[in-house]
Structure 1
Amino acid sequence: MKILQIIPTLGSGGAERFVVDLCNELTKQGHEVILCTMFDLKLNEDYAFFKKNLNSSIEHINLNKKLGFDRSLFLKIYRVIKKYKPQVVHSHLSTLNYVFLANILLNNKVKFIHTLHSDARKLIKNKGEYFLRKFIYNVKLVKPVCISEESLKSFEELYSTDSAKMIYNGRKLEESTGEIENYDKEKFNTIFLHVGRFDEAKNQINLVKAFNNILKEYPKILLLIIGEGDKKIKLELEKYTSDHIILLGRKTNVNEYMKVSQAFILPSIFEGMPISLIEAMSHGLIPIVSRVGGMKNMVENMKNGLLLDGHDIESIEKGLLDFLNLEGEIKEEMKRKVKIDFLEKYSIEKCVKQYIEVYGF
């Protein structure tokens, strides 16, 4: 099967990480994959963040999109489809606004799929975009795929249709190479890891404040934060950095830091279905997460992780303390359950199998 995947860039986000994994696994299973990015990856260092993770046998093309609305993309996408003749066009993120017209011109000769990587309501910028997407879905120009129960629910409520399919995001299980040595075990007995762009929605400022509050009672804990983003948030976070709270910046070897950590904390205000959480589960890290988006479906409180009561400092502090006060046997059982859940629900192999069914081949 020949599949054209379309995404704006290969930046450092979770959707981009997923698309690269999806392309690689489809190729591994014998399918021909072409990856199309709307922007030239050379324009911005971040645009090409995951490019090096792409299988070298996958052809990559870019459409040289201009900033803002670029009407030339309608014709460019149509020409790409005509040239490569894929059986399936699979779009992601904002590319749907440009892809749908090609299906009209091709008279439904190619199957079009679009994955919504978050709450459907969060993906709409204005009324015009809402009515456009409602038209696209209602006349079935594109088959929508949602990534979690919450994402699916938001889609059905917003567009008054049950046409969407739910497929959990998947992640490749990556083995550690031992690149990152264990942190000083005499100094630190518990390492918490947070991965996410610096953004108000990720709630990092409340996280570091909560962590700082419990350091006197638990002086042997460490918080590692991987990510970049909003400069104002970074400046605020730097006020709390110490030997116990470390900002690592962007990392391409996140799995190495997961290997040396015990817990993964994500106190987000809203989320879709974080790839970073799926990756953490693959390593057996115990999740401590907010009750938002797909996370509240992924984590069952006190079974395979801990759910926070809220997003405020006190709630995060309580979640950290609840984890630290767990008995060793309970932690080991949670770790075992987390790994089982990853293999049964969130592996890239299982995800690809479901997408192939949606592709219709």
Structure 2
Amino acid sequence: MLGPNPDEKGGMGKVSKLIRENVAESIEIQYISTWNGKDANRLTNFAQALMAFLWQLIGGKVDLVHIHISERGSVLRKSIIILISLAYQKPIILHTHGAEFTQFHEELPKPIKRAVNWMFQQCNYVIALSESWKQFYIKNCHLAPDRVIRMYNPVTIPSRIPNRSSSHPLKFVFLGKITPRKGIDDLLNAFASLPIDQQNQVQIVLAGTGEEEAAKQLAKQLGIENHVKFPGWIDEKQRDDLLSQAQAFLLPSYQEGLPMALLEAMSWELPCITTPVGGIPEVITDQETGLLVEPGNVQKLACAMQTLIENESLRLRIGKASREKAKDLDIKRYCVFLSDIYEQSAKKYDRNEMAVKNTISH
């Protein structure tokens, strides 16, 4: 398995880590980090990854290659991995994650786009994070429908959920990269538009790294800095502690694959205010398992916040429904299905290899 550093601050790192921690004991995963999350050491890290990968291949220790990919530089790095895997005739599973892959793919020059499509076509299976992403890869990368498998991201389901009745003050939480793409400016502007008495009932927690200083400056300009906390990037325990203390989750993104932070919030029985982008509308049904607002619609975002502030019974009902939906994405179920894909890929490769040998012998 090849992907980002396990401690990488994003969904790819979380998914790969969950798989390795929960996969069947009959499957041995050797994980190689192709990127450590730091631009300064990117080339060195990738060169080391290539050497480690080649060493495994030469030693005959590889039965299947599972590659996590996003967009831009990730596509270049993983294309090299795909070519090497093909040279060694190893079955390949390409696990796509890129929230911005549509724009990246659209802007590629035609010869490079054809090359990227060809790379995708050489893989035994391409895993897409949602049905909408599956259809994108089929249509735009010209993949056979039976080669693209929709697999929503997995999540660990907490065994116990706190009682959130009569909570005060309310804690509305965001987890992820603090950037305009995630709707941070919209979130702050929406909260600032609420009546003062409602603002006083809520603490906004923006946990993550990125453009923190710009967000802090905007909060100050809007006069809401006393209501907004920036704890920085938090580890898994801190994340779980924060989600257990929260009453709602906010993610007004403009682009997404299927965000792990959203699924984690759902597993903690939180009502989520988010946008119908990427795979989100396939797990969030408006007014049932969450509240959906169009990206950039600050007024409706403010109304959604206001609704959850005023209506405790709705908060609790949507939270319970979101947790029930998240149970369908339990990592244990996910790994059973993934094990089947591994087995099918290996068998398909064995059949293809046997067919080639029979052709040569005749």
TM-score relative to the length of structure 2: 0.80
Letter paired with 1:242? E
2:341 paired residue number: 358
Equivalent position of 2:132 in the other structure: 150
Aligned residues: 325
Q: Which structure has the highest helix share of the two?
A: 2
With over 3 angstroms needed to count, the CA separation of the structure-2 counterparts of 1:313 and 1:105, relative to structure 1, is: same
Residues 194-216 of structure 1, C-alpha deviation per residue, up to 9 Å, x if partnerless? 11102221010111121122151
Q: Report what 1:199 is aligned to.
A: 179
In the other structure, the counterpart of 1:86 is 62
Offset, 1:171: 1.6
Partner of 1:274: 259
Find the counterpart in structure 2 of residue 256 from structure 1. Answer: 241
Q: CA deviation at 1:315?
A: 2.3
State how far apart, in whole Å, the 2-side matches of 1:26 and 1:340 are: 23
Alpha carbons 1:265, 1:289 under 8 Å: kept: yes
Superimposed CA distance per residue, residues 257-288 of structure 1 (whole angstroms, 9 cap, x where no aligned partner) = 00011111100011110000110011001111
- Residue 355 of structure 1 aligns to which amino acid in structure 2? L
Structure 1 residue runs of 5 or longer lacking an equivalent are: 48-63
**Mapping of residues 70-219 of structure 1, within 5 Å:** 77-83=53-59, 85-93=61-69, 94=74, 95-107=77-89, 110-119=90-99, 120-122=101-103, 124=105, 126-127=108-109, 128-138=111-121, 140-161=122-143, 162=145, 163-174=147-158, 188-218=168-198, 219=200
- Structure 1 residue 297 displacement after superposition: 1.2
Q: Is the 8 A contact 1:77 1:102 kept in 2?
A: no
For residues 57 and 186 of structure 2, the distance between their equivalents in structure 1, rounded to whole angstroms, comes to: 46
On the 8 A contact 1:118/1:273 being kept in 2, the answer is no
Match of 2:355 in 1: none
State the 1:129 CA deviation. Answer: 4.3
Match of 2:208 in 1: 227
User: Which blocks of at least 5 consecutive residues in structure 2 are unaligned?
Assistant: 345-362
Displacement of 1:65 after TM fit? 5.3
Give the greater-gyration-radius structure (CA). Answer: 2
Following superposition, the deviation at residue 76 of structure 1 comes to: 5.3
Residues 209 and 92 of structure 1: is their aligned pair in 2 closer, same or farther, counting only changes over 3 Å? same
TM-score by length of 1: 0.81
Report 1 or 2 for greater relative contact order, CA contacts < 8 Å, sequence distance ≥ 6: 2
* 1:307–1:206 Cα change, 3 Å: same
User: Is the 8 Å Cα contact of residues 74 and 102 (structure 1) preserved in structure 2?
Assistant: no
Task: Give 1:247's match in structure 2, choosing from 217, 226, 230.
Answer: 230
Q: Does the aligned pair in 2 maintain the 1:194–1:266 contact within 8 Å?
A: yes
Task: Give, in angstroms, the shift of residue 326 of structure 1.
Answer: 3.0
Matched AA of 2:98: S
SS state at 1:335 partner:
helix
Q: Contact 2:207–2:232 at 8 Å: present in 1 too?
A: yes
Q: 1:38 and 2:34 equivalent?
A: yes
Q: CA RMSD in A?
A: 2.9
Deviations 1:15-60 (A, max 9, x none): 1111111111116x44212110024x5x85x99xxxxxxxxxxxxx
